[in-house]
Amino acid sequence: MGQLSNRTIAVLSDSGFEETELTSPVERLKEEGATVHIISSKAGKIKAMKGDNEWTIDVDVDKTISEAKAENYHGLLIPGGVLNPDSLRKNDEAIAFVKDFFKAGKPVAAICHGPQVLITAEVVSGRKMTSTKTIKIDLQNAGAEWYDEEVVIDQGLVTSRSPKDLPAFNDKIVEKFAESIHEGQHS
């Protein structure tokens, strides 16, 4: 049995996610025994990107955001990519879903552009975070303390910069999802 046996993790994504920022963490979570559900705005499949302009694989959606409830999950993962977070930020149900994880003190992980969703959910003020450099100013303007490190942990919040940081990111999300509730995580 892995560290995450008896844990169910939500992966919140729409089409346009960076392929490895979803596939690599999901593979690691499953290796550790977690049940992983892909949650998206629409049923069916979502499409990955590699870089900013190459569409790649399709990933099956397990539940729509309207069907999913944070109370049924032990943690939340938000992959990056340029298009994915931008799509999620416009979806009030997605933002409410994210906020529910913070209200419950559950661990949340976001990589690359994924923290943009956290900005819209208004849960970054006073938090130590990292991201792709292109949204550094956005995070700082929302009140986050930004660090140029491969992975930054603030209570139950795990953030990372890019696909090159996935090994460290994957290790830390396993650790935090195994811990479960983080009192300092509350928004």
- CA separation for the pair 92, 65 (Å, rounded): 10
Give dist(CA 146, CA 128) in Å, integer: 6
The distance from CA 64 to its chain's CA centroid, rounded to whole angstroms, is: 16
Q: What is the phi/psi pair of residue 22, to 5°?
A: -105, -50
Pairing of β 8-12 and β 63-64: unpaired
Chain position carrying tokens 């949340």:
108
Q: Which of 29, 94, 112, 151 is catalytic?
A: 112
Question: CA-CA distance, 61 to 66, in Å (whole number)?
Answer: 13
Separation CA 82–CA 104 (nearest Å): 28
Decide if 112 is catalytic.
yes
Task: Report the C-alpha dihedral over residues 86, 87, 92, 97, rounded to 10 degrees.
Answer: -90
The catalytic site residues sit at: 112
